[in-house]
Structure 1
Amino acid sequence: MFRKLAVAAVALAAGVVPAGAQTGIAHASSPAVLGGGSGIVIGNQGVCTLTTIGHDAAGRLVGLTAGHCSQAGTSVVAEANRDAGVVGTFAYTNAHMDYAVIEFDPDSVIPVNRVGNTTITELGGPAQFPDIACKQGYTTGQTCGLAYGDVFQSNNWAWTQICVLPGDSGGPIMVGTTLVGMVNGYLYVPCLGPQLGGNMAAIIDDIDTRGGVGAGYDPI
Structure 2
Amino acid sequence: MVRRHLLASVAAALLVIAGVAQVPSAQAQEDPNYIWRTDPVSKVLAGKPMVDRVLHRVPGSFHDAAPIAPEAWEAQQARGKALYGPGTPIYVGDESICTVAVAGYDARGRMVAVTAGHCGSEGQPVTSADAVGVGHSGRIVAVNRELDYAVIELGPNAEVSRTYNGVTVNHLGAEPRALGQVVCKSGFASAQTCGLTWFDDGHTNLNQVCAMQGDSGAPLLAGDALVGIINGGILNAPCQTPLQGPLFSPTSSARIENIIGAMNNGFRLP
Q: TM (normalized to structure 1)?
A: 0.81
Matched residue, 1:200: 256
- Out of 22, 27, 41, the position equivalent to 2:33 is 22
Q: Does the alignment pair 1:172 with 2:222?
A: no
Rg: which structure is higher?
2
- Out of 60, 75, 98, the position equivalent to 2:125 is 75
- Out of 83, 99, 108, the position equivalent to 1:33 is 83
SS of residue paired to 1:219: coil
Matched residue, 1:190: 238
- Alpha-carbon distance in structure 2 between the residues aligned to 1:69 and 1:193: 19
- Alpha-carbon distance in structure 2 between the residues aligned to 1:168 and 1:190: 10
Conservation of the 8 A alpha-carbon contact between 1:126 and 1:149? no
- Alpha-carbon distance in structure 1 between the residues aligned to 2:108 and 2:254: 25
Matched residue, 2:210: 163
- Structure richer in strand, relative to its length: 1
Please tell me the residue identity of whatever aligns with 2:254.
G
- What residue ranges of structure 1 are gaps of 5+ in the alignment? 1-19, 209-214
Conservation of the 8 A alpha-carbon contact between 1:76 and 1:86? yes
Matched residue, 2:165: 116
Conservation of the 8 A alpha-carbon contact between 1:40 and 1:50? yes
User: Where does structure 1 differ by over 4 angstroms across 4 or more consecutive aligned residues?
Assistant: 24-29
- Out of 126, 148, 151, the position equivalent to 1:101 is 151
- Structure richer in helix, relative to its length: 2
Please tell me the residue identity of whatever aligns with 1:123.
L
Count, aligned residues: 192
What is the aligned-residue identity percentage? 31
- Alpha-carbon distance in structure 1 between the residues aligned to 2:175 and 2:251: 13
Q: CA deviation at 1:46?
A: 2.6
